Chain A
Amino acid sequence: MYYYITLISTWMIPMFILVTLLLASWRKVPTYELFVEGGKEGINIALSLLPFLLGMIVSIAILRSSGAIDAFVSLLNPILVKIGVPSEIIPLAIIRPISGTAALAMTAELTQTFGADSYIGRLAATMQGSTDTTLYILTVYFGAVGIKNMRYALKVGLLADLVSIISALLIVYIVFG
């Protein structure tokens, strides 16, 4: 089953490109002109995105390097351990919605130290894979179109992350525990 899913996802983009180009040339659509025109928009979007992204990434880096996040983790640690959360996984659970690169590095590190087939290794992989970096997504999408007031978007994103972390903990416990 999994084999077929990966097969589909590797074939999907090439097939999509092929079918689109065939259909476009059949309908006599000016492909090259459209491609260049759309591509130009891409440059503008990326450039206007940079200040938003840079501001967000730098402030997270400051929070991390100054020890503020570590302090937060050690504050929550005793409570979470009491409920039965393995203490090795707590930093990853907290960093996952905040920084994608940091979370990825932590997942790799946990997989290396505890082994890919250990309980912690499987838990880290599930946690990493089952959700996306909320702060990054909000910054990129809202920044790209110039939204200044994001209303309740952050609350929804972070609460959904909480649900995702709890469900990863429970499911890995049920399946591999």
Chain B
Amino acid sequence: MFNGTMEEVNQALFESANEAVTITIGLVSMLIFWLGFMKIAVEAGILRIFSKLFEPIIIKLFPEIPKGHLAIQYILSNITANIFGLGNAATPMGIKAMEEMKQLSGSTTASRSMITFLALNTSGLTIVPTTVIAIRIQYNAVSPTEIVGTTIIATCISTLAAILLDRIFYMRSKM
């Protein structure tokens, strides 16, 4: 408006609408594959073994979720996929976790567990920053993986901060 960039705004409007459709199509394939496959995984009980192991930690983070609930299995799968840099698999599992948490709360207002879950996801906990390494390889870095250490430290700090902030805001919302 002030910069005389109205032309660009028009162009950006249509280009970004296209981009949104492209992103969604990219998600469709992953959602179909992973939601289909996770149905098998849940039925086969493979996640139950895994979630028994980590359930105590998850319950600590998500006190609203009852023990043995399906949401725990999906939350764990999402976190594991994120940590190993498998973003494509993480999103469908995260959406399933959200569905389970919505069934628990039964309302269109975000529940405490949902916000904790999203706080974990937005802080991007990972030990393999795959896309960044790809960029560094592309631009001939001497050691493409040398930033892994700094990234892990930064992501751990931001994840801790996210958990703390989530607690603080939850306490404040209850007052």
B-contacting residues of A (Cβ < 8 Å)? 2, 5-6, 8-9, 12-13, 16-17, 19-21, 23-24, 27, 29, 31, 34-39, 41-43, 45-47, 49-50, 53-54, 56-58, 60-62, 64-67, 71, 97, 101, 104, 107-108, 111-112, 115-117, 121-122, 125-134, 137-138, 140-142, 144-153, 155-157, 159-161, 163-164, 167-168, 171-172, 175-176
B21 at the interface (CB under 8 A from A): yes
Q: Main SS of the interface on chain A? A: helix
B34 at the interface (CB under 8 A from A): yes
Are B44 and A151 within 8 A (Cβ)?
A: no
Are B141 and A117 within 8 A (Cβ)?
A: yes
Q: Say how far B70's CB is from chain A's closest CB, in angstroms.
A: 13
**Chain A minimum-CB-distance residue to B155:** A130
Over the window 1-24 of chain B, the binary record of Cβ atoms lying under 8 Å from chain A Cβ atoms (1 yes, 0 no) is 111011011011101110111011
Are B158 and A131 within 8 A (Cβ)?
A: yes
Interface residues on B, range: 35 or more
A42 to B144, CA, bound (A): 35
B126 at the interface (CB under 8 A from A): yes
Given A46-B27, A53-B24, A108-B135: A35 and B110 interface contact (C-beta under 8 Å): no
Given A27-B44, A29-B43: A126 and B123 interface contact (C-beta under 8 Å): no
Are A138 and B122 within 8 A (Cβ)?
A: yes
Residues of A within 8 A of B138 (CB): 108, 111
A120 to B84, CA, bound (A): 26
Q: Say how far A155's CB is from chain B's closest CB, in angstroms.
A: 6
Q: Say how far B164's CB is from chain A's closest CB, in angstroms.
A: 9
A20 to B139, CA, bound (A): 39
Q: Say how far B101's CB is from chain A's closest CB, in angstroms.
A: 8
Given A161-B122, A175-B149: A129 and B39 interface contact (C-beta under 8 Å): no
**Chain A minimum-CB-distance residue to B125:** A132
B72 at the interface (CB under 8 A from A): no
Q: Say how far B121's CB is from chain A's closest CB, in angstroms.
A: 5
Are B150 and A175 within 8 A (Cβ)?
A: yes
| A61 touches which of B15, B46, B91, B153 (Cβ 8 Å) | B15
B142 at the interface (CB under 8 A from A): yes
Are A41 and B35 within 8 A (Cβ)?
A: yes
**Chain A minimum-CB-distance residue to B143:** A117
Are B132 and A66 within 8 A (Cβ)?
A: no
Residues of A within 8 A of B118 (CB): 137-138, 141-142, 153, 156-157
With A71-B2, A129-B124 already in contact, 17 other A-B pairs whose C-beta atoms are closer than 8 Å: A16-B41, A24-B43, A31-B40, A34-B40, A37-B39, A39-B36, A42-B36, A61-B15, A66-B1, A131-B124, A149-B110, A150-B115, A153-B110, A153-B115, A164-B155, A168-B150, A176-B150
| B17 touches which of A16, A54, A141 (Cβ 8 Å) | A54
Are A137 and B122 within 8 A (Cβ)?
A: yes
**Chain A minimum-CB-distance residue to B115:** A153
Chain A to chain B contacts (Cβ below 8 Å), 11 pairs: A2-B145, A24-B41, A45-B31, A50-B21, A122-B147, A137-B118, A140-B27, A141-B95, A141-B117, A150-B115, A175-B150
Are A5 and B16 within 8 A (Cβ)?
A: no
Interface segment out of the listed B51-59, B61-69, B165-173: B165-173
Given A122-B146, A153-B110: A43 and B99 interface contact (C-beta under 8 Å): no
